[in-house]
Structure 1
Amino acid sequence: MNKKRMFLVFLGGTLGGLCRFSIDTTLQYFDSFFMISTITVNLVGPFLLGLVYNRFNDTLYASIFITGFLGSFTTFSTLTVHLTMTLEYNALSFYIYLLCAMTFGFVMFLIGIKVQQLVGERHV
């Protein structure tokens, strides 16, 4: 990876993070059980990715927008690309990947919480 691409990823990541923060801050008053800001970025991110994916694929624009901006705006965009590539290959693999990504992602999140609670109790 060259320095120019690294800088573009950094710049895009900064802008994506700021946009995510702005949406979280703006929608925090409307958040409920469904966490509107998270759903918003997790739907807007893949939409934006779909708009530019084929056009920016493997260019400097991909570094700034796809990897940088969308990478910090939402990680759901990456999952969407992987699922799309898997679906093009094999429908069964798509469903297995989707189930594993969502189920095991959630399970790992719960395990992380439990580990933090166990470690936290020992250090208190």
Structure 2
Amino acid sequence: MSVGLMIITHNHIGEDLLNTARSMMGTIPLETYCLAVSQSGDPDILLGKAIDAYHRLHQGDGVLVLTDMYGSTPSNIANRLTQQPKVQVIAGLNLPMLVRVLNYPTLRLHELVNKAISGGHDGILLCETHS
């Protein structure tokens, strides 16, 4: 068994990031589901879809939920999933975070959370020009 991965983002940001990671890595080693949240979407219906996906993804080791921006509708839906057992939610999804998670598919949920946070944080750099 392994941790399931759910990505909840505005529009298709999550799908685009996942497809980019797939092209870089050649595969997606975790069972994954992306939920695209549009401005016209009903949050209660989207939460129902997320809960259904949680039940498909949760094989005993938990579900890691990555969302793009804290306090937004995708994040609010993601945070409502914490009422389910073995769910961890991380806001601030970026490509380095996702790639880091996908590089450690055998880790336990709490270890994968730490990898995700460090990958997201370490992937943010100031690129200064030298003149």
TM-score normalised by length of structure 1: 0.28
More strand by share: 2
Q: Which has the larger radius of gyration?
A: 1
